[in-house]
Every structure is written in C-alpha cells, then in structure tokens.
Structure 1
Amino acid sequence: MKIEGRTFIISGGASGLGRATALALAARGANIAILDMNEDTGAALAAELGGPSRARFYQVDVTDTASVAAAVTAAAEWSRSAGGAPLGGVVPAAGIGLPALIMDGKHRPARLDALDLVLGVNLRGTLDLVRQALPHIAAASPDGGEGPDGERGVVVMVASSAAFDGQMGQVAYAASKGAVAAMTLPMARDLSRHGIRVLTIAPSLFETNMTKAMSDKVRKSLLNSLEFPKRPGKPEEFAALVIHLIENTMLNGEVIRLDGASRMPARL
C-alpha cells in the first residue's frame, strides 16, 4: 500500500518504537496522529513533524475506551480535512512491563491489579484502538482500485520475543504479548474482505525508555543472550520493518520476530 497521502494512528507515538515509526512514516509523506499519555513529548513531536497540517497530538489513556474513542474520532475527522488523507493504518505501540513473579519466595501471589494493568495496556488497549480505528479505515477508497491488490489499510501490532520465550517474572507481559501474536491471523481473516491487512512485529531487546530503566546487571545479562548483532535493536530498525510491512501487499497474517536470532534465557 502506498504510504504517501495517508494518515496513520500511532499509540505510544511520542517515544521509543512509536516515535521512530511516526518519523519514518512522516518521511514517506504520511500524516500522523500521535496518541500518548505524555503531552509535552507528544506535542513536541507533532510540531517537529510539521505541525497541524501534517501531525496532530491526542492525549490518550489506552485503558480508557472513551479516551480512545475521542482520539480516533478526532483523528478521523482531521484525516478527512487534511487534504483528503484518509486513514491508512494503525500502529498500537503503547506498552508497559511491570515484571513480577506469579508467586514470590514468601508464597505471596502476584497482585491482581498489576496483572490487570499490564493486560489492560498491552492487550485490551491494542484491541480497543484497532477496533475503533477499523470502521474509518474501511471507509477509505482502496489503494490501487477494486482489483485483487486494492487495499484500504494495514494494522501493525506490537508483540515481543517474550510471547515465545518469556523470562521469569514475565507472566503478565508474556501473556499480553502472546495474545497479540495469537490474534494476528484471525484478525487478518476477519478483515480480508475489507481489504485490510494485519501484521505483528515481535521485537527483542530494543533501545527504548523501558530498557533504559534496566539495571546494568539486567542489561548485561540480556546482551549476553544476543547472537548477531551483539547489541540492542535501534528504534529506526523497527520503523524500517513497519514501512516494509505497509508497502508489501503480500505480507498478511504474520508475526515477524525482529530479534537478531536471540532467544531470552529463563532467568537473568
């Protein structure tokens, strides 16, 4: 699908993988709706991308469906007025970690509110944003006409290598990201008749705010598990894959690991 002249919604778009994706899509001529909790960084990025004509920031809590609805509706209205740049896709990149053992050494179970928060942001937040954006994406004219290659949009979700080899303390995180991976194919099948493709990227250790908060010991242990390249991934490498997924019409219903052949060890 052609990126230029389309609008893309990105949650978690003010930092990390979401920010890199926003920059890459904007460089290809897309308009960007940035959804994030952080007003300062979100507004600054929107200004960097060209201001109100090219990028808009919407303050959103992805666990609040009314907040998501307001942002999606506003973004869709803006896309229709912004030189006819219809919604072409959504990238739900908002996510959190909150590691915790399901039961600690004193036989205390994990707090349910912490589990709910991780599942709420990573899984429910992803589903809610996608489901609310889809009617607007489906209303767009197909790129390339009504033929077999005519498509209306692309959903690119974010899982994690933890979906496949989660470590100790990652039960909630792995469950949330595993669910995102698992729903990729059925969602693609649901949306095929509408000309909308669905893909998921499962990155390993990448340079983000989440990984910057790790201790040196944890970071060193994770680096030792990497194969090649022997370094964390760069956000722009993630964004480059998003660009390819959008532009390659034959890619659909797949979960693609972006991990340099690394497999996470059971414990740090």
Structure 2
Amino acid sequence: MDIQGKTAVVTGGASGLGEATVRLYAAKGANVAIFDMNDQRGAQLAAELGATVIYQNVNVTDEQSVASAIDATVTAFGEIHICNNFAGIGDAKKTLGRDGAFPLDIFNKVINVNLIGTFNVLRLVAQQMSTQQPVTDCGSRGVIINTASIAAYEGQMGQAAYSASKGGIVGMTLPIARDLAQYGIRVNTIVPGLVHTPLFESLPEDAFESLSKSPLFPQRLARPDEIAHLSQFIVESDYTNAECIRMDAGIRMQPR
C-alpha cells in the first residue's frame, strides 16, 4: 500500500514513537489523525504539520470517545487506511512486595489501557475500513499495526501487569489477522526493545550507559524514527501479515 494520499490514525501520536510515526506519515503525503489525551502537545503537533494532520482527544478505553474520533477523521479525510496503536502505560510493581500483594486496580488499569484499549481502537477502525473500496490490486483495504514490547517475551521483575498486557497484544495478532483477512485488512505487531524516549532522559548517566550497552549490536537505544520506519515498511509490504516483528538489536532481557 502506498502511504501517499492515505489516511492514518495514530494513537499516542502526540509524543514518542507515535509522534515519530505521525511525522513520517505526514512527510510521505498521508493524512494523519492524532488520537491522544495530551491536548497541548497534540494541538501543537497538528498545527506544526499543517492541514493534513488533525488532533482528537481520545481515551482509547472508552468506546464512544474512539467512535467519535473515528467519525471526525472520516469527516475530515473521507476514509481510514492505516491504524497505529501506540497508546499505553507502564507500571513496575512486584506480585508480592514490602507493601503486600500487587494492587488489583493497578493491574486492571494497565491491562485496560494497553490491551483492551488497543483492541477497542482496532476493532472500530476495522469496521470503518471494511466499508471502503480496496486501494491495491490485491484487494487491501487497510493495515493495522499494534505495539507490544520485548517484555511480552522476557518480562523483568515487577513487570507482571505490563508483560501480561503486551503478551496479550502478541497473542491476539494472529487471530485478529485471520478474522480480518476476508475484508482485506492486514494486522501486524511491532515489538520494540529499548527505545530512546524522553523517559530515559531522567535516568542517571550510569544507568543510561548500562542500558545502552545491553543490545548485541548496535549497542545503543533505538530511535523513535527507526520504529516509525518499520511501520512504513509494514504499510508498504502487502505480503507482511499476522507478524510480530522484534526490533531490539538482539537484546534478551535479564530478570532485573
């Protein structure tokens, strides 16, 4: 699928991996709808990138919020062809620690945002995509790209909730791809390793250096634009479907 002239929805698009992907899609000639809850940053980014980018305040866990934003996107751009799900949260708590058992409300929140929020968006976007005419010779109507984490495979101590949420995204990739194949919609998942986002700027220098040396090669953190480039590849490669693609420079996380 050619990105130029298509319309993309990017959740978590106001910062980090989402922002990098929004910028790449816009540069490639796509219309982009940023779905996020950071009104200031989302509006600034849309204003910076021009008329082909809009911002929508969206709570990915809320059905009506997502449905309304999809309607607004279709009103603005006509159709939706690409969906990137980056919106997510993290948490670090042991199953049993000094303060007792892992609080269930925190576990539920992580699952609700990362896993259920991803599914909520993709199912409603897929519904819209299914009504559209194919845009490729092979009959493609759309591409959905979810975001997991290497924690789905090698979760560290304290990552029970986060790993469960990301493992769920990995686990649902194939069945959803099977469900949507009849509509000409592909579904893939990016599985990032350690990515240099603003979160890492707050780490002590020795901790940052240690993390940077963890991958096999190259020994550095990934850049958000590298994740965005993988999204570009997935969109443009019509034969890439039902895949969970690790982008981690060969790192395998240790218990702590």
TM over 0.5: yes
Gaps spanning 5+ residues in structure 2: where? Answer: none
Partners of 2:183 and 2:39 lie apart in 1 by 34
Residue 23 of structure 1 pairs with residue 23 of structure 2: yes
Partner residue in 1 for 2:212: 223
Which of 159, 172, 183 is equivalent to 2:161? 172
TM-score (norm 1): 0.92
Partner residue in 2 for 1:83: none
Partner residue in 1 for 2:117: 125
Superposed CA RMSD: 1.4
Which of 103, 127, 150 is equivalent to 2:139? 150
Gaps spanning 5+ residues in structure 1: where? Answer: 81-85
Partners of 1:132 and 1:7 lie apart in 2 by 15
Q: SS where residue 164 of structure 1 aligns?
A: helix
Partners of 1:4 and 1:234 lie apart in 2 by 23
Partner residue in 2 for 1:3: 3
C-alpha offsets along residues 92-149 of structure 1, whole Å, 9 cap, x if unaligned?
1001111111110x3710111111111111101100011111111112211124xxx1
Residue 216 of structure 1 deviates from its aligned partner by 4.5
Which of 101, 105, 122 is equivalent to 1:113? 105
Partner residue in 1 for 2:90: 97
After TM superposition, what 4+ stretches of structure 1 lie above 3 angstroms from structure 2? 209-221
Q: SS where residue 183 of structure 1 aligns?
A: helix
Residue 65 of structure 1 deviates from its aligned partner by 2.1
Partners of 1:234 and 1:126 lie apart in 2 by 23
CA contact (8 A) 1:166 1:174 kept: yes
The count of corresponding residues between Structure 1 and Structure 2 is 256
Partner residue in 2 for 1:209: 198
Q: SS where residue 174 of structure 1 aligns?
A: helix
TM-score (norm 2): 0.96
Alpha-carbon distance change, 118 to 10 in structure 1, aligned in 2, over 3 angstroms: same
Q: SS where residue 87 of structure 1 aligns?
A: coil
Identity over aligned residues, as a percent? Answer: 43
Partners of 1:121 and 1:209 lie apart in 2 by 20
Which amino acid is 2:63 matched to? T
Partner residue in 1 for 2:251: 262
CA contact (8 A) 2:213 2:220 kept: no
Partners of 2:136 and 2:6 lie apart in 1 by 13
